[in-house]
Amino acid sequence: MELLSSAIWDVSPAATFFTSIDEKTWKEVFRYASMHSVDALMASSVRRLPKESQPPSKLRIGAYLQMENIEDANRKLNRQLIEISEIYRSLDLKFLLLKGQGNALYYPDPLHRSPGDIDLFLYREGDYEKAKQWIKDMNYEMEVESPHHQGYNIGDTHIENHRLITYFVRKKYDRLLQQEVDEIIGQQSFDLVEIEGKAIQVLPTEMNAFFIFQHMFRHFIYTGTGMRQLCDWLLFLKAHKTSIRKEKLLKLTEKFDLLRPMRIFAQLAVTYLNASPDIFPFELGKPNRYPRLLMEDILNGGQFGFYRLKGQPKTLWRGRWHRYKLTVKRSFLFGAIAPSHVYPLPFHKLIHRVKLTLKGS
């Protein structure tokens, strides 16, 4: 954790922690970095260590090469984001950039966030369907459409057009979210960020802080989340700690019954990642056992909990049953953190699977 926390807070790591680490341990450090998509962050901290505290040259060079690959991938994705944004503007498609390269802006070095997809929320009525028709006309490779987004590929870049910014297990929260989003759209109260010299619209600060957390927490309750998602949230809060309207964010979080899990993740960050309590626009609450449980779960699961699924059966239905049992187990383990979000999840997944099966999926 010392290397990761030093990277995100832009300070030199404590060299004394690393003077007696052997090659086997260093390999484990870099394995965890890869599991959590924080390779470049860890490498940037290694580079700040004195020579006698650094890993063996073979491992060090490998880490630096991976960091350079991530930097190049970010430059490429930024260029492609600008290209697709220009195309959408020419088609009169209005969008907001969600997470991804927008989150990277708040890292000490934006090129050190491991890049992913380009996620665009098409917020104006009719634009989502219009964009889908354009994708078909261009004959781009398309994913099977989900109820929430349409994914497609331009070359090796994956783009997701979203009809919704996110979703919940319970329809009650989906309706509340739609009311909030409709108000934002009606008032055109978007923020602007600059990427490659171009202005890109994003969610307003308080909704973005809420959305980044909710996206992380939704992944957490399903299969797990990784350190990159946690870093995204922490660095966004740090960057906006003087401008965020605390009362507005608190009201939003309480409306969706997410204040308790948000506090627990904040406690985790303070305890294990040296986060300063003053970046959080709320009181941290009383100490409890959950930050340690969450940290163990995050470390073992890796990015989106994918490493937890590696041992699942290969056959279709046995794999589905394995994932369902995992959901039930996680509901019992973490349900008390956010009962209205976690406890209904097994039933929700069961009903969803029955519906898909009846449709032949």
| pLDDT tens profile 298-332 | 999 888 777 776 767 777 777 777 777 888 888 88
DSSP for 77-100 reads: HHHHHHHHHHHHHHTT---EEEST
Helix/strand/coil for 122: coil
Mean per-residue pLDDT, 48-66: 94
**Domain assignment of residue 260, yes or no:** yes
Q: Between 348 and 129, where is the model more confident? A: 129
**Domain assignment of residue 58, yes or no:** no
CB 27 within 8 A of CB 59: yes
What whole-number percentage of the chain has pLDDT above 70? 96
Mean per-residue pLDDT, 187-209: 97
User: Using CA atoms, how far apart are residues 164 and 147, in angstroms rounded to an integer?
Assistant: 9
**Domain assignment of residue 173, yes or no:** no
What whole-number percentage of the chain has pLDDT above 90? 81
- Which amino acid, 343? Y
User: Using CA atoms, how far apart are residues 65 and 47, in angstroms rounded to an integer?
Assistant: 12
pLDDT of 357: 65
In the block, which residue shows the tokens 């046995």? 318
User: Using CA atoms, how far apart are residues 100 and 81, in angstroms rounded to an integer?
Assistant: 10
**Domain assignment of residue 257, yes or no:** yes
Q: What angle do CA 292, 294, 297 make, to 5 degrees?
A: 110
| pLDDT tens profile 251-305 | 999 999 999 999 999 999 999 999 999 999 999 988 899 999 999 999 998 887 7
pLDDT of 244: 97
353 falls in which pLDDT band (50, 70, 90)? Answer: low
**Domain assignment of residue 94, yes or no:** no
CB 209 within 8 A of CB 246: no
Q: Is the pLDDT of residue 155 over 70?
A: yes
Radius of gyration (C-alpha) of the chain in whole angstroms? 21
What is the pTM assigned to this prediction? 0.93
- Which amino acid, 47? R
**Domain assignment of residue 103, yes or no:** no
pLDDT of 347: 79
| pLDDT tens profile 91-112 | 999 999 999 999 999 999 999 9
Q: What angle do CA 230, 236, 238 make, to 5 degrees?
A: 100
User: Using CA atoms, how far apart are residues 159 and 161, in angstroms rounded to an integer?
Assistant: 7
pLDDT of 297: 93
Helix/strand/coil for 149: strand
Domain count within the chain:
1
**CA 169 distance to own-chain centroid:** 18
Residue 57 tokens read as 């040259």
Mean per-residue pLDDT, 11-26: 92
**Domain assignment of residue 116, yes or no:** no
CA distances (Å), origin 283, targets 40, 84, 213, 266, 293:
32, 41, 16, 9, 21
User: Using CA atoms, how far apart are residues 115 and 76, in angstroms rounded to an integer?
Assistant: 10
Mean per-residue pLDDT, 157-178: 96
pLDDT of 314: 72
pLDDT of 269: 98
**In the predicted model, what is the mean pLDDT of the chain?**
93
Number of Cβ within 10 Å of residue 299's Cβ equals 17
290 lies in which domain range? 205-361
The order of strands in the sheet holding 157-162 is 96-98, 118-121, 157-162, 149-154, 141-142
**Domain assignment of residue 231, yes or no:** yes
Instruction: Return left, alpha or beta for 151; rule: phi > 0 is left, psi -120 to 50 is alpha, else beta.
Output: beta
Range in 11-15, 50-54, 323-327 with the lowest mean pLDDT: 323-327
210 falls in which pLDDT band (50, 70, 90)? Answer: very high
User: Using CA atoms, how far apart are residues 298 and 305, in angstroms rounded to an integer?
Assistant: 7
